[in-house]
Chain A
Amino acid sequence: MPKPDFGFSFAPNRALELSVPLLPEVQAVLEAEPSIRACMACGQCAAVCTAGVFTPLAFYRLVLQLWAGEVEVVGQRAQHCMLCGKCQMTCPRGVNIRNALLLMAALLPPKP
């Protein structure tokens, strides 16, 4: 049945629904690397990122997006990481960023 056209439309709801449980794949990533939870979004990892100079890879943003359930973007951006470990060296909270990115790229593969 075609959608009725009233001559106006509502914008889709942008709000994050926190009462809905986390996606299972998000939970899997968090479980496999619990230190992700320690991230305070300080941005140090992005400031030093070797890949971030060329591509919008910023680990703390992937963490935020992971919490928001935006797994597509996370999986796709995580593929750009070189695993060089510079971010992990400087992270003040000791997040195992390399492992987290490996897991994100492996467990949240973007649809081809």
Chain B
Amino acid sequence: MEKSAWFVWPFMLGFMFALAVLLLRYLWWLRSLLRRPSSRLLSRMFSKHSLLAVREIFSEGLLHLRIYKRNRRLGFMHMSLALGWFMMIVGGKFETWFHSGQFLHGTWYAVFFRYFEPQTVGGWAGTFWLHYMDFGLLLVLTGLALAIVKRIRKKVLGIHSTTRHTLVNRVALTFLWMIFPLRLVAEALTFGQHGGGGFLTGALGRCCFTSGTLAGLELPFWWAYSLSLGAFFVVLPFSRYLHIPTEMVLILLRHWGLQAAEDLQPEKALQAFEIHACSSCGLCLDVCPAIKDHPFQSAYFLRALRSGKGWESLASTCLSCGACEEACPINLGLEKLRMAARGKIHEKHHAVYSYLPTVGPVETSKVDVLLFTGCMGRLKPATTKALKDLFEEAGLSWVHLDEQESICCGRPLALAGRASEASALREHNRSLIKGQQARMLVTTCPICLKQFRDDYRLELPVYHHSEVLWSCLSSGSLKREKGTACFSYHDPCELGRKSTCYQAPRELLQSCGTLLSLEREQADALCCGNSLGSLSLSLSERQALTSRTLKVLEVPGAQSIVTSCPLCQHNLARQSSLPVKDLAEVLAVTGLPEQQGQRKAALAAVQEL
């Protein structure tokens, strides 16, 4: 090598530095695991799970397929940046191997290869590598252009909100943006002066940089390229770009069966990797119902956790509606993390339920349904009555477990991060259910539903009333005729996103009327604003969210709004200009076959007397 190689040092130093810091941080996060490696992890490490992980790293870390599915333009931007850079790294390795016949080189060699060997071509295969490397560079530059556009005009990329960055991130961003244009100019200068190059760099060199007066610029541009690379690497481990390597490790660790802790440990194990794997892609911003009022969205929450400052209020305010978790392209366990943070805030909170009455041995008569309406159910007599009427009509027998007094299912405690305190409540309700001879447990509250399903380990199946009613309809024990009624349906977060029950309510409504389609529904539905998930959101902020949700629901033609959660119904009903009903209430009086309708009216008239 005759040419001066001093300029590679900034890159080399930066790169080594980044590598060392990353290694140290990862080892620190994994410290407990290294001390006591779990056998499960080791066995998974050498199995198909690692291959699956590699596949996911490729599809998510490089191709960003999940972002692409949500938002094509944004997905393309991420894909072109990551894939292009990846192509250049791999291609660089192969190109130097091809030309030198030697696989191992200093890391800098491939990065700055064309400075040292501008004219080496090497037949058609060498030409291929030249164009291949240029293609990689072009891809990155396209991504870069989109990223700049996104900063200036976010709407162009189909998003409404971008994350606001801190200083270190802006510095990193600046260096990152400089790297590739500098490489383009440096290579083009070299090719312009010495000939050669691919379709991009070579052509640019031939058209702009052949003049001998520019020869003096060649080395300075390579210096600048190296410097910006080096600087970027130095800040990388302290900026959001840490997510690039971290996401890959996270995917591996997840496939190896590692799970996030229940308590907050932002510098430990899987949680640390999750917190640092967030790319601030911003997908969680646009879906959040509260985006205009509050910057507490997951991207900000995770950033606060990384810096260790101010995460408390962000964790308490969020509604836990689950929209961001649904949207997050790297499937971060955001709710679990938030609950862990809430648990940490209220660490000193301790509950005492020694006052709960003991449940004596329950009488066991065989029934079809154990009905649990929950605390909120007591405020919704119309729903309970309608449901009982429907059970009667369908020929189902039932026992109303909590008709007199009810004890909370425990999920509200879990949503406050105090799941551990709820065991006494669960025990109480479990003893109510145990010993009953029933085919199923039915709840009218989706919050209870989730809790019973996930945490109670009951011997009988648990259903939401919409699911049971739908099955009655399918089996023919309930009959409905399509009428002229026109509904819009609100998906409760806890029933939709949290329990993926979207179809049953829709089938029920379509059986007796017309269901209107909405701008945001199913997994994209907005929270009603009344979620138990938020601890500190004020009433006026909640009401602002509710009116925004009502704007989506009050579509032209809708005669009533239907939902299937007592909290949502309570909240929407107070604020809406349209009547807001529970599914059961609607089904009890709508679409009744002719004769049956008359019989019902007659019965009601008799009861009035």
Assess A/B contact in the complex (Cβ within 8 A).
yes
Residues of A within 8 A of B (CB): 33, 35, 48, 50-51, 53-55, 79-86, 89-90, 94, 96, 98-99, 102-103, 105-107, 109
Would you list the 7 A-B pairs with minimal beta carbon distance, nearest first?
A: A94-B539, A84-B408, A106-B349, A82-B408, A55-B355, A79-B352, A106-B348
How far apart are A24's CB and chain B's nearest CB, in angstroms?
A: 16
A85 and B405 contact, CB distance less than 8 A: no
Say whether B298 faces chain A, with CB atoms less than 8 Å apart.
Answer: no
A105 and B355 contact, CB distance less than 8 A: no
A99 and B412 contact, CB distance less than 8 A: no
A80 and B535 contact, CB distance less than 8 A: no
23 contacts between A and B (CB under 8 A): A50-B375, A51-B355, A54-B357, A79-B352, A83-B408, A83-B412, A83-B418, A84-B375, A84-B408, A84-B412, A85-B412, A85-B567, A86-B378, A86-B379, A89-B376, A89-B530, A96-B537, A96-B538, A99-B535, A99-B536, A102-B346, A102-B535, A103-B346
From B356, B376, B416, A83 is in contact (CB under 8 Å) with B416
Say whether B401 faces chain A, with CB atoms less than 8 Å apart.
Answer: no
Say whether B444 faces chain A, with CB atoms less than 8 Å apart.
Answer: no
Q: Which residues of A contact B375 (CB under 8 A)?
A: 50, 82, 84-86
B546-588: CB near A (< 8 Å → 1, else 0) gives 0000000000000000000001001100000000000000000
Q: Which residues of A contact B567 (CB under 8 A)?
A: 85, 89
Instruction: Give the distance in Å from the alpha carbon of A80 to the alpha carbon of B538 in the complex.
Output: 24
| Prevailing SS type, chain B contact patch | loop
How far apart are A80's CB and chain B's nearest CB, in angstroms?
A: 6
From B348, B405, B418, B539, A53 is in contact (CB under 8 Å) with B405
Instruction: Give the distance in Å from the alpha carbon of A9 to the alpha carbon of B489 in the complex.
Output: 71
How far apart are B338's CB and chain A's nearest CB, in angstroms?
A: 15
A89 and B351 contact, CB distance less than 8 A: no
Instruction: Give the distance in Å from the alpha carbon of A89 to the alpha carbon of B540 in the complex.
Output: 14
Instruction: Give the distance in Å from the alpha carbon of A80 to the alpha carbon of B351 in the complex.
Output: 6
Say whether B36 faces chain A, with CB atoms less than 8 Å apart.
Answer: no
Instruction: Give the distance in Å from the alpha carbon of A103 to the alpha carbon of B567 in the complex.
Output: 23
Q: Which residues of A contact B379 (CB under 8 A)?
A: 48, 86, 89-90
A54 and B356 contact, CB distance less than 8 A: yes
Given contacts A83-B418, A94-B540, A98-B412, 11 further A-B contacts (CB under 8 A): A50-B375, A50-B408, A53-B405, A79-B350, A82-B353, A82-B410, A86-B376, A90-B379, A99-B316, A105-B348, A106-B346
Say whether B89 faces chain A, with CB atoms less than 8 Å apart.
Answer: no
A82 and B535 contact, CB distance less than 8 A: no
Say whether B413 faces chain A, with CB atoms less than 8 Å apart.
Answer: yes
Q: Which residue of the partner chain A has the closest CB to B574?
A: A89
A82-B425 contact, Cβ under 8 Å, with A33-B536, A98-B416, A102-B535? yes
Instruction: Give the distance in Å from the alpha carbon of A90 to the alpha carbon of B571 in the complex.
Output: 10
A35, A81, A89, A90: which has the most chain B beta carbons within 10 Å? A89
Q: Which residues of B contact A84 (CB under 8 A)?
A: 375-376, 408, 412
B352, B418, B542: which has the most chain A beta carbons within 10 Å? B352
Q: Which residues of A contact B352 (CB under 8 A)?
A: 79-80
B128-172: CB near A (< 8 Å → 1, else 0) gives 000000000000000000000000000000000000000000000
How far apart are B218's CB and chain A's nearest CB, in angstroms?
A: 62
